[in-house]
A and B are shown apart, each in its own frame.
Chain A
Amino acid sequence: MDFQDKKAIYLQIADYVCEKILLGQWPPGERIPSVRDLGVELEVNPNTVMRTYDFLQQKDIIYNKRGIGFFAADAATDRIKSYRKEQFLETELPQFFRTIYLLDLSLEEIEKRYKAFVEIEFNANKVE
């Protein structure tokens, strides 16, 4: 895993866990790696991974079965999406706004490009 500069490590690990769940590598309802195993894999302090797991528990994305371990919640996918959406609107969107403002890009131009992007990336197969 490549750690970036900006975000606190426990949050970057949270993103990593969420991605594993979204990609289906750690399916909802199933056990996820222990704090210790993930700490070793990512070369981070186990206390930091524990902080991540506490954080994801608060968001109801994972849960703890006492004595057995941590599991991805059944509704994990939906909850991750709403957590990500919140994050995007709070931090990534303002940065995007800042850039288009500085570069004098109009919202019409952005909209046009957005539509073309969605067409190419997501609708190309549906045309047939």
Chain B
Amino acid sequence: MIELTNLTFGYTPKKTMFRNLNLSIQPGSIYGLLGKNGAGKSSLLRLMGGMLFPTAGAVQVAGFTPRKREPAFFQELYFIPEEIYLPSVSLNRYIDTMGPFYPKFNESQFRKYLSEFDVPPDQKLTAMSYGQKKKIIISFGLATNTRVLIMDEPTNGLDIPSKSQFRKIVSSSLTSDRLMLISTHQVRDLDNLIDGIVIIDENEILMNHSLTDIEERLMFSTLSAVTETDRVLYAEPSLRGYSVVMENVGQEDTKVDLERLFNAVVTNRSGIKTLFR
């Protein structure tokens, strides 16, 4: 549903950020986009949203070319940026103004999410705290029922109970024809919620796999010592020895530790590449 083909992009002609990037992700899933600061996560999302234009190559989202900015495309895409803006109006006014842009927008669904998030319905939007505003945008975005929903660091600014509500609401609104792509540093916030992982590092896509695939190929374990023969791809010291990522030779289903997976992927590129070939 989102296809990048030989995508090349740079903010200035001299400095290329992405060169010949390829990526294909499908509906029915919640993808986590992981990468270090400055890896280009937000730029990638903006290219998908038609806010930045590729220098070369193609971006296709839900069958549209984002840079053409066709109205029919924007009816099927909702983009929750990291920095949010809300106008100085009441909630009702916001619904009346913004709702009509999205043919599948469902007002009662929106109000249900807001009450689950504990957002008061009768305040002026600008009088609310950052966290409350963020919850309004998230609720609105989910209630537009667009086929593509992109969220850039959605859990930033949410308090602890709201993060749990966020997971419930996102889980409940996934359908088989909907694609959600969430970029985050807070991988623990999205633990058990995402079922596809895209890892971007040094302007390259190092991984694009389902959690099921990752579970099949990798094992997350603790070892008292790390020896050469253990097929260990990554190890970090921990209380009980070493927390490791290793080749899953015994077909054991262990829980994917997203932080450790990320570290393994960015530090042992060749080992991971070989295993996922």
Contact = CB atoms under 8 A, between A and B. Distances in A.
Interface string A39-65: 111111111100100000000000000
Interface stretch (B93-101, B150-158, B253-261): B253-261
A3 B29 CA distance: 21
Contact of A39 (B171, B253, B254): B171
Interface stretch (B8-16, B57-65, B187-195, B197-205): B187-195
A14 to B, nearest CB: 10
Interface stretch (A4-12, A77-85, A104-112, A118-126): A4-12
A7 B253 contact: yes
Contacts of B211: 48
B253 A8 contact: yes
B254 to A, nearest CB: 6
B30 interface: yes
Contacts, number: 59
B24 interface: no
A20 interface: no
A44 B255 CA distance: 13
B168 interface: yes
Contacts of B191: 3
Contact of B193 (A7, A45, A51): A45
Interface residues of B, number: 24
B212 A51 contact: yes
Nearest to B255: A8
A46 B253 contact: no
A44 B253 contact: no
Q: Does more than half of chain A's interface fall in helix, strand or loop, or is it mixed?
A: helix
Interface in B163-222: 164, 167-168, 171-172, 174, 191-195, 211-212, 215, 220-221
Given A9-B192, A48-B195, A43 B168 contact: yes
B120 to A, nearest CB: 23
A44 B171 contact: yes
Contact of B253 (A4, A10, A36): A10
Nearest to A41: B168
B28 interface: yes
A10 B254 CA distance: 10
B192 A43 contact: yes
A40 B168 contact: yes
Interface in B241-270: 253-257
A81 B160 CA distance: 37
Contact of A43 (B193, B215, B220, B221): B193
A11 B255 CA distance: 9
Contacts of B257: 5
Given A3-B192, A36-B171, A44-B171, 8 more contacts: A3-B255, A4-B255, A6-B220, A11-B253, A36-B172, A45-B30, A45-B192, A48-B195
The 7 lowest CB-CB distance pairs between A and B, nearest first, are: A8-B253, A43-B167, A44-B192, A39-B171, A45-B195, A40-B172, A47-B195
18 contacts: A3-B191, A6-B255, A7-B253, A7-B254, A7-B255, A8-B215, A36-B171, A39-B172, A40-B172, A43-B164, A44-B171, A44-B192, A45-B171, A45-B195, A46-B171, A47-B28, A47-B174, A47-B195
Interface of A: 3-12, 36, 39-48, 51
